[in-house]
Amino acid sequence: EVQLVESGGGLVQPGRSLRLSCTASGFTFGDYAMHWVRQAPGMGLEWVSGISWNSGSIGYADSVKRRFTISRDNGRNSLFLQMNSLRAEDTALYYCAKARGPHYYDSTGYSFDYWGQGTLVTVSS
Amino acid sequence: DIVMTQSPDSLAVSLGERATIHCRSSQSVLYSSNNKNYLAWYQQKPGQPPKLLIYWASTRESGVPDRFSGSGSGTDFTLTINSLQAEDVAVYYCQQYYRTLITFGQGTRLEIK
């Protein structure tokens, strides 16, 4: 059974940092691209960042570019999101999502077939 | 960026009837080299993560009831739910994964009339 478990969320002051983790099981983690998607309270889905199977392709939403860094450790079946210079508008439930294939880049991407339950990040003073 | 626009924002349909949700992309998401539309549909129920229903615009994910179907190509897509069931009450999102900057529609809330 595929499982994705996010952790690392919490209450943080504006301007501070937080590191999210996603631990995967039930599939060969290193064979698939992975993504972070967030959802502000009562709002829709916003894709945040994606990474290909071998970390060769990485992308970010404009809203988080140069502040957030995605990474993965295939040996530890883990996905990470380092979030710096946090703002109130980063407050959201952050989901880890598995892509249906290995690649992540123009015309090679895949939809997301499994999602975690999310970890809540609240940015407030 | 490819902007995804769904319509309507919300709709109410009677049990057993058909629900139709539209999604339009600001640019084509059809890749001519493989003739695939990089368009997916997700269902999100309250308190739950999204669930993949349809990918490549019309391929149903394993385990999804066949009353759910997707159609369309290029920039215009439709999610159809035949014979609406009570458990279909949810918010539905379209997503394009054609470009590196992935985008979702704003969501369509489906309720029972």
Q: Best interface-test mutation with B: which of A107, A113, A115, A117 has the largest number of B CBs within 10 A?
A: A107
- pLDDT tens-digit series, residues A68-108: 999 999 999 999 999 999 999 999 999 999 999 999 888 88
- pLDDT tens-digit series, residues A29-52: 999 999 999 999 999 999 999 999
Beta bridge partners of B99: none
Looking at the complex, report in whole angstroms how far the Cα of residue B82 sits from the nearest Cα belonging to chain A: 23
A100 vs B: CB within 8 A? yes
Q: What's the burial of A46, exposed, middle or buried (CB within 10 Å: 0-12/13-18/19+)?
A: middle
Q: How far apart are CA A24 and CA A12, in angstroms?
A: 25
Q: Is 90 exceeded by the pLDDT of residue B25?
A: yes
Share of chain A above pLDDT 90, in %: 96
B70 vs A: CB within 8 A? no
Q: Best interface-test mutation with A: which of B100, B103, B104, B109 has the largest number of A CBs within 10 A?
A: B100
CB atoms within 10 A of CB B40: 29
| B105 contacts A111? CB cut-off 8 A | no
Query: How much is the pLDDT for A113?
Result: 98
Token output for A16:
């501070």
B50 vs A: CB within 8 A? yes
